[in-house]
């Protein structure tokens, strides 16, 4: 007897159908799995055997062959346990499932329990696109799977329950999504901008950055509030749209980072990796490539505190993703691409002692030391940062002032208006530097979109020309200034870029200081 069961693998962030063929024939009792399985799949034999026996079903004592097709996709992880068990039970005539239109995913425990599997959301979205009508998913993962409407989700907690369902004795009711899109409207925040005293120009710079998803570098003496300001940034970021939330959730699902109680990521990610992070930890990698911090910060913020402390090489690998908004990882087994459209926010001191340029405390570093310290961050990386802002020490009067600043909610309202303008401008278009980015905000624009949307009048042109020569700017800086000026105009609600928008954008470029 032969049975064919459909299951799914995840390659990168995409689900791929896997056919699990089970053949039972006469002969000595044996159980083999073929079709490029890794060790976890080979071990599946023991789990499946025990789970079937402990569920009160009969494990056939004949020659059992399982083939996982297509053979060129390497099958990793334990998620094939459930489809293999279903295949065996169907081939031995113990259950009669509708195998044509259903998919099965899940790991089995020895007692027949069905366990959580990573990457359920990407699998379900492809299954739905390919016309499958029903998905048997670990009960724990049902809320995540049900985010994708239009496919029936049957939550399976254990094998005996599934057997009862497939025999038609005890049907399991399909999972009804409890998800409420209002959750996206109530993100939770830690620090509020209201509590940050002074630093008005830094707050303005962060507002501009958040409005267009531009990168920021804050430089200043110890204790000036750089880390505090960066941590307050999530509170002014615009709410996620449902498309963005699903994009982020897929990345977290594949990485196994989705919290058990929250099927959908409803807040923009804020990732702050420590400076000892490795190259693979930052951009992704490993034998079976996994997304790294830059992908976990997709559509959110990657905060690198104490930037010069990061390994020089580790920082350099961010150069390509910062331009392309995706990261490509090549392995002998193929090339994978993960989204990495993040807003880089970095903080550093101006010199090793921290007080260079401080009006109160004298800097004790030699010029050579300062040069060496700053050289740890390469020119090309600095060139990719749109907004360079200094964070000076806060004076006593400002700190001791009891009046609160502008609350984050007010700032966020302005930013959301500016983002809405941008959303309408691009209207779901695809483009950007590599032509494949779905355009949502000004920072996503490539040269073609810059040409179309960032036109200057004559006085703007002559101002930019003067700035280019005086500041020795690159062609990249030229484009970045135009994008930034577009965001500043959007914040003001101005359809055209005016000279004062451009002047503010130019002022955020780095100046030579020593």
Ligand X SMILES: Nc1ncnc2c1ncn2[C@@H]1O[C@H](COP(=O)(O)OP(=O)(O)OP(=O)(O)O)[C@@H](O)[C@H]1O
Q: How far is the CB of 130 from ligand X (least distance, A)?
A: 50
Q: Which residue is nearest to ligand X (CB)?
A: 225
Q: How far is the CB of 228 from ligand X (least distance, A)?
A: 4
Which of ligand X, Mg ion, none interacts with 214 (beta carbon under 5 to 8 A by kind)? Answer: none
* Residue 220 or 300 having the CB closest to ligand X: 220
Does 225 interact with ligand X (rule: CB under 6 A)?
yes
Does 394 interact with ligand X (rule: CB under 6 A)?
yes
Which of Mg ion, ligand X, none interacts with 494 (beta carbon under 5 to 8 A by kind)? Answer: none
The label of the residue with tokens 């995706």 reads: 326
The C-alpha atoms of residue 141 and residue 249 are separated, in whole angstroms, by 13
The residue ranges of DSSP E strands in 123-182, in sequence order, are: 134-138, 152-156
Q: Which of 14, 244, 19, 252 is nearest to 118 (CA)?
A: 252
**Within 13 A of 59's CA, how many CA atoms are on the CB side?**
17
Q: Is 68 helix (H, G, I), strand (E, B) or coil?
A: strand
Does 191 interact with Mg ion (rule: CB under 5 A)?
no
Q: How far is the CB of 223 from ligand X (least distance, A)?
A: 5
Q: What is the per-residue binding string for ligand X in 205-224, x denoting contact by CB under 6 A? A: ---------------x-xxx
Q: How far is the CB of 367 from Mg ion (least distance, A)?
A: 24
The C-alpha atoms of residue 103 and residue 15 are separated, in whole angstroms, by 12
* Residue 124 or 196 having the CB closest to ligand X: 196
Any residues with CB less than 8 A from the CB of 402 and at least 6 apart, and which? none
Q: How far is the CB of 404 from Mg ion (least distance, A)?
A: 22
The DSSP secondary-structure symbol of 36 reads S
Cβ distance 178 to 161 under 8 Å? Answer: no
Strand partners, 343: 301
- The two tokens of residue 205 are 């710079």
The C-alpha atoms of residue 455 and residue 447 are separated, in whole angstroms, by 12
Q: Which of 176, 156, 100 is nearest to 132 (CA)?
A: 100
Could you give the strand order of the β-sheet that contains 301-304, starting from the edge strand earlier in sequence?
270-271, 301-304, 343-348, 216-219, 387-390
Does 263 interact with ligand X (rule: CB under 6 A)?
no
Which of Mg ion, ligand X, none interacts with 197 (beta carbon under 5 to 8 A by kind)? Answer: ligand X
- Helical spans, DSSP H, in 311-388: 312-316, 319-324, 367-375, 379-383
The C-alpha atoms of residue 409 and residue 50 are separated, in whole angstroms, by 56
* Residues 167-196 interacting with ligand X (rule: CB under 6 A): 196
Q: Which of 255, 273, 243, 304 is nearest to 438 (CA)?
A: 243
Q: How far is the CB of 361 from Mg ion (least distance, A)?
A: 17
Cβ distance 222 to 305 under 8 Å? Answer: no
Q: Which of 62, 65, 191, 227 binds ligand X (CB under 6 A)?
A: 227
- Piece in contact with Mg ion (CB under 5 A), picked from 93-101, 122-130, 157-165, 224-232: 224-232
Does 435 interact with ligand X (rule: CB under 6 A)?
no
Q: What is the per-residue binding string for ligand X in 331-350, x denoting contact by CB under 6 A? A: ----------------x-x-
* Residue 226 or 412 having the CB closest to ligand X: 226
* Residue 154 or 307 having the CB closest to Mg ion: 307
Q: How far is the CB of 406 from ligand X (least distance, A)?
A: 13
Q: How far is the CB of 224 from ligand X (least distance, A)?
A: 4
* Residue 222 or 256 having the CB closest to ligand X: 222
* Residue 62 or 227 having the CB closest to Mg ion: 227
Strand partners, 24: 64
Does 227 interact with Mg ion (rule: CB under 5 A)?
yes
* Residues 78-117 interacting with ligand X (rule: CB under 6 A): none
- The two tokens of residue 54 are 């402990």
* Residue 183 or 228 having the CB closest to ligand X: 228
Q: How far is the CB of 311 from ligand X (least distance, A)?
A: 19
* H or E stretch covering 425: helix 408-426
- Footprint of ligand X on this chain (CB under 6 A)? 196-199, 220, 222-228, 347, 349, 394
- Footprint of Mg ion on this chain (CB under 5 A)? 227
């Amino acid at each position: 007897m032969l049975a064919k069961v459909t299951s799914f693998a995840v390659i990168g962030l995409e689900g791929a159908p896997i056919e699990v063929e089970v053949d039972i024939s006469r002969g000595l009792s044996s159980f083999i799995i073929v079709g490029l399985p890794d060790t976890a799949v080979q071990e599946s034999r023991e789990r499946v055997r025990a789970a079937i026996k402990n569920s009160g079903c009969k494990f056939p004592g004949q020659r059992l062959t399982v083939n996982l097709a297509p053979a060129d996709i390497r099958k990793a992880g334990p998620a094939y346990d459930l489809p293999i068990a279903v295949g065996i039970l169907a081939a031995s005539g113990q259950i009669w499932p509708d195998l044509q239109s259903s998919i099965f995913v899940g790991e089995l425990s020895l007692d027949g329990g069905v366990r959580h599997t990573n990457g359920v959301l990407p699998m379900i979205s492809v299954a739905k696109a390919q016309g499958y009508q029903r998905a048997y998913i670990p009960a724990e993962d049902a809320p995540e799977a049900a985010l994708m409407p239009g496919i029936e989700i049957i939550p399976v907690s254990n094998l005996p329950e599934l057997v009862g369902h497939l025999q038609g004795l005890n049907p399991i009711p399909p999972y009804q999504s409890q998800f409420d899109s209002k959750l996206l409207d109530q993100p939770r925040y830690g620090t509020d901008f209201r509590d940050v005293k002074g630093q008005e120009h830094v707050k303005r710079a962060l507002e501009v950055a958040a409005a267009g998803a531009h990168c920021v570098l804050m430089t200043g003496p110890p204790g000036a509030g750089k880390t505090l300001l960066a941590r307050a940034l999530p509170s002014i970021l615009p709410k996620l749209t449902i498309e963005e939330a699903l994009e982020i959730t897929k990345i977290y699902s594949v990485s196994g980072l989705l919290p058990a109680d929250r099927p959908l990521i409803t807040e923009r990610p804020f990732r702050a990796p420590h400076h000892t992070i490795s190259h693979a930890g930052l951009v992704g990698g490993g034998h079976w490539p996994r997304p790294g911090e830059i992908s976990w910060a997709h559509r959110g913020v990657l905060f690198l505190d104490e930037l010069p402390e990061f390994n020089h090489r580790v920082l350099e690998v961010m150069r390509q993703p910062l331009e392309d908004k995706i990261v490509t990882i090549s392995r002998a087994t193929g090339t994978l691409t993960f989204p990495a459209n993040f807003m880089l926010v970095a903080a550093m001191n101006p010199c090793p002692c921290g007080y260079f340029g401080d009006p109160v405390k004298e800097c004790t570093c030699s010029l050579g030391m300062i040069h060496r310290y700053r050289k740890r961050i390469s020119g090309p990386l600095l060139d990719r940062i749109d907004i360079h802002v200094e964070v000076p020490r806060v004076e006593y009067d400002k700190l001791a002032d009891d009046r609160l600043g502008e609350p984050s909610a007010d700032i966020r309202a302005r930013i959301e208006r500016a983002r809405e303008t941008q959303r309408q401008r691009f209207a779901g278009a695809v483009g950007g530097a590599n032509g494949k980015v779905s355009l949502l905000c000004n920072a996503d624009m490539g040269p073609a979109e810059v040409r179309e949307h960032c036109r200057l009048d004559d006085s703007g042109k002559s101002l930019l020309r003067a700035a280019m020569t005086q500041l020795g700017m690159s062609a990249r800086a030229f484009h970045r200034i135009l994008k930034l000026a577009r965001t500043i105009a959007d914040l003001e609600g101005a359809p055209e870029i005016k000279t004062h928008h451009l002047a503010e954008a130019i002022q955020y470029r780095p100046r030579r200081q020593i």
